[in-house]
Amino acid sequence: MRLKGWRNLHKHSSPEIAVELDFDAGSDGEGAKEPVTVRRIWHGEGLEESRTVVEEAGQTTSEDVHDVIDAEQVSLYRPFLPYTQLGAAINGPLTTLHDEISRLLGLELLSDTDAAARARAKSLTDTESAAKALTATVVQELSEVDDPRAKKAITALSGRSPDLDAVRTLLQGHGAADEAHLARLRRLADLEPPDRPLIAKAVSRLRSADAVADDARQLVKLLDAALEHRRRQPDASDCPVCGSTDLLERSWAERTRAQVERLLAEAAKAEAAHRQLVNAVREVHDLMRPAPAWLQADEPPLAALWRDLVACRTVRDPYELADRAERAEAVLGDACDQVREDARRRVTAQDGR
């Protein structure tokens, strides 16, 4: 109805509306200018068939009212509200009334500020949530790292208020700590244990030399004792050991003397074997070398096993030496292999990290 009944039916001249606007000076008294007339002229039957002109000092200067009037300010500080528009707002839906009153009171700025504050709060909440999720991921990854600093970092990052300064301190000192840790691991990875095959061969030669020398000496002593018994009792033919009769007769004595002579020759060889035994003992002693000095601090349990091996150097009995050296070498060799492989694995993992 407004679009059809906007004109005066009793007057057929072209309708127009003119508004004279005065502009206030600024707070410093400057900026005031002459009044401006804004004129809207209808030249057709429809409400939209119109044009607007801006006049200054009686001269048309523009056809765009926005050149002199800020549309946003006019919308915010409306000079008047038509009765029909006010009635439509009051009698219309509550949402329309709310929107209209908001415009009248200039609440759009508050709404915009509230929307901006909500958007900012959401952005901060999202950032905080992302930080918490990232912290949880970092803590999970640190729990899988075999490094004492990782445990300190987990403690610093746990709780309601993570201690970021403590984490920064750990990060600042990571270079020297990593180098020292890696240097230790590399020393263990390159650890050279006692020569296991060489020690095994030396122990084998020791046992063989001792067995040969001992068997020859014992047999010579036994036969020599039997001959001595035969010389003291030339008429006795019974064996004093097993009780066999007619065993130690003249022919036996002759055979025994021949065998003794042969065994004496072997005894000379046995003496040579004994000297080889002495050399074998010395060889085993020489192979019981002490552990590297740095191992005392880097791997004390392994250093203790190494000391057990070195203690074999005080053993003189060939049988005991062979047994102790063999056992100590086996335990130490297995421990060295395990420590070396573990260090190599950790070096590889550390280099990867």
pLDDT value for 282:
85
Cβ–Cβ under 8 Å, residues 47 and 3: yes
Helix (H) or strand (E) holding 35: strand 33-42
pLDDT per residue as tens digits for the range 76-96: 666 666 677 777 767 878 887
Calculate the CA 303 to chain-centre distance: 29
Type of residue at 164: L
Task: Provide the 3-class DSSP secondary structure of residue 34.
Answer: strand
What tokens does 299 get? 């791997």
Query: Could you tell me the pTM of the whole model?
Result: 0.39
Residue 118 pLDDT grade (very low, low, confident, very high; cuts 50, 70, 90): very high
Residue 211 in tokens:
């067995």
Rounded to whole angstroms, how far apart are CA atoms 229 and 241? 11
Please state whether beta strands 59-62 and 50-56 pair in parallel, antiparallel, or not at all (unpaired): antiparallel
Taking only the tens place, the pLDDT of each residue in 9-20 is: 777 777 888 888
Q: Is the pLDDT of residue 223 over 50?
A: yes
Which contiguous run of DSSP H or E holds residue 23? strand 16-23
| Helix, strand or coil, per DSSP, at residue 209 | helix
CA pair distance 207, 191, nearest whole angstrom:
29
Give exposure, 48-64, as e/b (b: 16+ Cβ within 10 Å): eeeeebbbeeeeeeeee
CA–CA separation, 216 vs 286, rounded Å?
27
Q: Do residues 78 and 104 make contact, with C-beta atoms less than 8 angstroms apart?
A: yes
Tokens of 266: 């072997």
